[in-house]
Amino acid sequence: MLKTPLCELLGIEKPVFQGGMAWIADASLASAVSEAGGLGIIAAMNADANWLRDQIHELRTKTDKPFGVNVMLMSPFADEVAQVVIDERVPVVVTGAGNPAKYMKAWNEAGIKVIPVVASVALARLVARRGATAVVAEGTESGGHIGETSTMALVPQVVDAVDIPVVAAGGIADGRGVAAAFMLGAAGVQVGTRFLVANECTVSEQYKEMVLKANDTSTRATGRSTGHPVRALKSPFTNAYAKSEAAGVSVEELGAMGTGALRKAAKDGNYEEGSFLCGQIAGMVSERQSAREIVDDLVDGAERVLKGASAWVA
Ligand SMILES: Cc1cc2nc3c(=O)[nH]c(=O)nc-3n(C[C@H](O)[C@H](O)[C@H](O)COP(=O)(O)O)c2cc1C
């Protein structure tokens, strides 16, 4: 059985987080992952307090296991969402897109386990000093908003820099990836892209088909010039966006282009105008499965690899 200190810390059976995914990671997917023994995470994205409260209540009708909420710090509703997680006694908060220092004290006082996503050693150190329970070290292979450093380089550097558990994210979609993350010193993994095709994932069929057909070079990162790079499947939207970026279009205009594009992909399956956020590992995601099958495959596969690893040592 694969158990790490993170399991005990969070009361979960398996050290697998389902990454918060805006417009995608709702109560349906998160409850299924938590029921499977991992940590399901509802993405609060840019939604308001009422939407999040409803999702939390719906999740609680489906599971009584621990779960998390992903708070996007850039959201205009971040303040009210930060309060909802306290009012609703959410066990775990994972923060994305920035520095959560502003909310850390209140969340810690409420007994919430706070796990910020970091793309650098500096931010990992800062949030550890402010009382983070653990950190997610997310490499540039990931889908969604990304940093510059790869998972392979980032994880061991973050592990060496902080005294709290590190969860590896970015480019992990099977047992080999999980085992590799543990070898780098991680105590758990966060997976986004593979869960896009989970049966319980409510994303559009068009989105799922595109992920299933993707190969190793199907994604590209755009938006580096804006300071907020994003990784998505190549599509008419990413082509148009990259062209505008290369032509020197202003950051404001680029921002306007991006507004609503993920919703168009996730909810409407709009191939022409949608932004299909996705990680580089999509080429390995080729099967629709239940969340339980995915969690079990990640963990069982890692056990096999880890047990076999000693064969290399004389
Ligand atoms: C479609 C999509 C949307 C995402 N949205 C968010 C988000 O709202 N907040 C966040 O912190 N991370 C977000 N992420 C990142 C994931 O939570 C996770 O860390 C990442 O997908 C892991 O890398 P992988 O895609 O290689 O599995 C998103 C990722 C994807 C693929």
Query: Is the CB–ligand 1 distance for residue 112 below 6 Å?
Result: no
State the DSSP code for 64: -
Query: Locate tokens 């329970």: which residue?
Result: 133
Ligand 1 centroid, distance to 46 Cα (angstroms): 14
Number of Cβ within 10 Å of residue 25's Cβ equals 29
User: 169 near 160, Cβ under 8 Å?
Assistant: no
What is the enclosing helix (H) or strand (E) of 33? helix 27-35
User: Are 13 and 37 in contact, with CB atoms under 8 Å apart?
Assistant: yes
Ligand 1 site-directed mutation target among 155, 277, 281, 295, most atoms within 8 Å of CB: 277
Q: What pairs with residue 138 in β-bridges?
A: 169
Are the C-beta atoms of 236 and 298 separated by less than 8 Å? no
Mutational pocket test of ligand 1: of 24, 33, 145, 216, the residue with most ligand atoms within 8 Å of the beta carbon: 145
**HEC-encoded secondary structure of 94-133:** EEECCCCHHHHHHHHHCCCEEEEEECCHHHHHHHHHCCCC
Structure tokens at 24: 């995608």
The closest of 2, 81, 97 to 42, measured between CA atoms, is: 81
- What is the structure's pLDDT at 314? 76
Determine the length of the chain. 314
pTM above 0.85, yes or no: yes
Helix (H), strand (E), coil (C) string for 242-265: HHHHHCCCCHHHHHHHHCCHHHHH
Return averaged pLDDT per consecutive 10 residues of the chain, 314 residues in all.
91 98 97 98 95 98 98 92 97 89 92 96 95 97 96 98 98 98 97 98 98 98 92 97 92 89 96 97 98 98 92 80
What pLDDT does 24 receive?
97
Alpha helices in 63-204 (DSSP H): 78-87, 101-109, 121-129, 151-161, 175-183
Q: Is the CB of 41 under 6 A from ligand 1?
A: no
Q: What angle do CA 279, 169, 207 make, to 5 degrees?
A: 30
pLDDT at 232: 98
Residue with CA at minimum distance from ligand 1 atom 16 = 19
Q: What residue type is 169 in one-letter code?
A: A
What percent of the residues of the chain are helix, what percent strand, and what percent coil, each to the nearest 5?
45, 15, 40
Which amino acid residue places its CA nearest to atom 20 of ligand 1?
Answer: 192
Residue 95 CA, closest ligand 1 atom number? 11
